[in-house]
């Protein structure tokens, strides 16, 4: 995908959705961090169902600690890997209360030092909560980066670096959301819906199957 196509690709996505946002439900920075931590190998819909049970009872680090591990596990038990996620979230809350006065730090190194928080989760929090121009490369962004020719790479980090290099600055803060939504609903893994894709003419991918009648 060349520069002109990249510019057109994002201008079309922007026109269609000028103010994109995450589909995870949250009302404060801690809720966002917790929801993203719980979202590994789970859908946003599934996470939202679990946090709808959890957050009315506990939506800050001290409240999670007061809730206790068994009750936390019970609240999120519909999510895959809920036991390990509950343990990581509890450990993260302990660190936030002890070292950060219960606040989520606006710092990559600090975020990545929290249990269960890797580079992708840190990037989501930095982007969504703090407006940083980061790229959280999940399966959708990794697929789109390679399939479209926008940011080819063999690893999520390589794709992230390519995205940061190739996306025009004017689109950078919102690009993460546009790409996730595009991958989730249009450029799907098994059968990309090229016949209804508004940016297919900018993309390097050539569909192998015709549009359904």
Do residues 108 and 144 share a domain? no
49 is catalytic: no
Using a 10 angstrom Cβ sphere, with 0-12 exposed, 13-18 middle and 19 or more buried, the burial of residue 98 is exposed
Looking at the structure, tell me whether residues 33 and 122 fall in a common domain: yes
The residue from 44, 138, 174, 206 that is catalytic is 138
Nearby residues of 183 by Cβ (< 8 Å), 6 or more positions away:
139, 140, 141, 143, 144
Q: Catalytic site residue 120?
A: yes
Q: Kindly name the residue from 74, 77, 107, 120 that is annotated as catalytic.
A: 120
Q: In this structure, is residue 99 part of a structural domain?
A: yes
Kindly state whether residues 13 and 51 are assigned to the same domain: no
Domain total for the chain?
A: 2
**Does residue 10 lie in a domain region?**
yes
Tell me what pLDDT residue 183 has. 94
Residue 213's pLDDT is what? 57
Residue 40: predicted pLDDT: 86
Considering the domain architecture, whether residues 108 and 148 belong to the same structural domain is answered as no
Q: Among 70, 102, 128, identify where a domain stops.
A: 128
- Do residues 120 and 164 both lie within one domain? no
**What does pTM read for this prediction?**
0.89
Which domain-ending residue is among 82, 101, 128?
128
Last residue within a domain, chosen from 66, 93, 128: 128
In a domain, 161, yes or no: yes
Position 207 scores a pLDDT of 76
Claim to verify: residue 63 and residue 122 sit in the same structural domain: yes
9 and 38 housed in the same domain: no
Question: Is residue 59, in this structure, part of any structural domain at all?
Answer: yes
| Non-local CB neighbours of 161 within 8 Å, separated by 6+ positions | 153
Q: Note down pLDDT in tens along the chain; length 213 residues.
A: 999 999 999 999 999 999 999 999 999 999 999 999 999 888 999 999 999 999 999 999 999 999 999 999 999 999 989 999 999 999 999 999 999 999 999 999 999 999 999 999 999 999 999 999 999 999 999 999 999 999 999 999 999 999 999 999 999 999 999 999 999 999 999 999 999 999 999 999 987 655 555
Compute CA distances 102 → 64, 83, 122, 143, whole Å. Answer: 11, 23, 17, 36
- Give the CATH number of the domain where residue 143 resides: 1.10.1670.10
**Same domain as 71, residue 41:** yes
Q: Is there a domain that residue 24 lies in? A: no
Q: Which residue range is the domain that position 155 belongs to?
A: 3-19+135-202
């Amino acid at each position: 995908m060349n520069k002109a196509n990249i510019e057109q690709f994002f201008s079309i996505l922007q026109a269609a959705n000028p103010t994109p946002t995450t589909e995870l439900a949250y009302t404060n920075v801690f809720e966002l961090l917790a929801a993203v931590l719980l979202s590994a190998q789970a859908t946003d819909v599934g996470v939202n169902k679990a946090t709808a049970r959890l957050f009315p009872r506990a939506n800050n680090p001290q409240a999670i600690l007061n809730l206790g591990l068994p009750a936390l596990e019970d609240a999120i038990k519909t999510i895959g890997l809920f036991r390990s996620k509950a343990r990581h979230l509890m450990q993260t809350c302990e660190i936030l209360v002890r070292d950060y006065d219960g606040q989520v730090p606006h710092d990559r190194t600090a975020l990545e030092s929290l249990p269960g928080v890797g580079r992708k989760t840190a990037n989501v929090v930095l982007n969504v909560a703090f407006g940083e121009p980061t790229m959280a490369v999940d399966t959708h962004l990794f697929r789109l980066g390679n399939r479209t020719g926008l940011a080819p790479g063999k690893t999520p980090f390589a794709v992230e670096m390519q995205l940061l290099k190739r996306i025009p600055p004017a689109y950078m803060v919102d690009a993460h959301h546009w790409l996730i939504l595009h991958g989730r609903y249009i450029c799907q893994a098994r059968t990309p819906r090229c016949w209804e894709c508004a940016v297919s003419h900018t993309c390097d991918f050539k569909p192998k199957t015709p549009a359904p009648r």
